[in-house]
Structure 1
Amino acid sequence: MADLGLNDLKALAAVAAHRSFRAAALDLGLSPSSLSHTVASLERRLGVRLFNRTTRSVSVTEAGEAFLARVQPALRELEDAVETINNYRQTPAGLLRLNTSEGGAMRVLPILLDFLQAYPDMRVDVVCEGRMVDIVAGGFDAGLRIAEAVPQEMVSIALGLDEEFAVVGAPDYVSAHGLPQNPADLFEHECIRTRLPSGTIYRWEFERSGEAIRLDVPGRLTLGTHDLGLQAARAGAGLAYVNRRSAEADLATGRLVRVLADWTPPFAGICLYYPRQRLPSAGLRAFIDHFQAARRR
Structure 2
Amino acid sequence: MKALQDLAIFVEAAKHGSLTGAARQLDVSPAVASAAIKRLETELGSPLFVRSTRSLRLTQQGEQFLRYSEQALDLLQQGQQQLQNADKIQGSLLISAPSDLGRDVILPLLDAFMSLYPNISTRLSLSDEQAKLFSQPIDIAIRYGVLGDSSMIAMPLVKDNRRVLVASPEYLAQHKTPAHPLDLKHHECLFYELNEVRYNRWQFHRQEEDIAVSVTGRRASNDGGVVRQWALSGKGIAYKSALDVKADLNAGRLVPLCTDWQGELAPLHLLCPSRQQLTPAVKALHRFLRDQLA
Specify if TM > 0.5: yes
Distance 1:206 1:95, change over 3 A: same
Matched ranges for 1:1-297 at <5 A: 91-105=88-102, 106-146=104-144, 148-149=146-147, 151-160=149-158, 162-171=160-169, 173-196=171-194, 198-203=195-200, 204-209=202-207, 211-252=209-250, 254-265=252-263, 267=265, 269-276=267-274, 278-280=275-277, 284-293=279-288, 295-296=290-291
Query: Alignment partner of 1:241: what SS?
Result: strand
Task: Provide TM-score, normalisation by structure 2.
Answer: 0.57
Measured in 2, the distance between the counterparts of 1:150 and 1:142 equals 17
Corresponding residue for 1:50?
A: none
Shift in Å at residue 293 of structure 1?
5.0
Corresponding residue for 1:18?
A: none
Shift in Å at residue 250 of structure 1?
4.7
For residues 67-125 of structure 1, the C-alpha deviation after alignment (integer angstroms, 9 at most, x for no partner) is xxxxxxxxxxxxxxxxxxxxxxx735442222221244344334433443344343212
Kept in 2: contact 1:226–1:241 (CA 8 A): no
Shift in Å at residue 130 of structure 1?
0.9
Corresponding residue for 2:31?
A: none
Query: Alignment partner of 1:126: what SS?
Result: strand
Aligned length: 204
CA RMSD of aligned residues (A): 3.2
Query: Alignment partner of 1:286: what SS?
Result: helix
Kept in 1: contact 2:165–2:263 (CA 8 A): no
Query: Alignment partner of 2:256: what SS?
Result: strand
Q: Quick one: which amino acid aligns to residue 96 of structure 2? A: N
Distance 1:148 1:210, change over 3 A: farther
Measured in 1, the distance between the counterparts of 2:255 and 2:106 equals 27
Corresponding residue for 2:13?
A: none
Kept in 1: contact 2:139–2:272 (CA 8 A): yes
The sequence identity of aligned pairs, in percent, is 27
Measured in 2, the distance between the counterparts of 1:228 and 1:251 equals 17
Measured in 2, the distance between the counterparts of 1:127 and 1:173 equals 33
Shift in Å at residue 288 of structure 1?
0.7
Distance 1:118 1:267, change over 3 A: same
Give the gaps of 5 or more residues in structure 2: 1-86
Task: Provide TM-score, normalisation by structure 1.
Answer: 0.56
Q: Which has the larger radius of gyration?
A: 2
Q: Quick one: which amino acid aligns to residue 275 of structure 1? A: P
Shift in Å at residue 176 of structure 1?
4.3
Measured in 2, the distance between the counterparts of 1:216 and 1:189 equals 11
Kept in 2: contact 1:150–1:273 (CA 8 A): no
Measured in 1, the distance between the counterparts of 2:254 and 2:159 equals 23
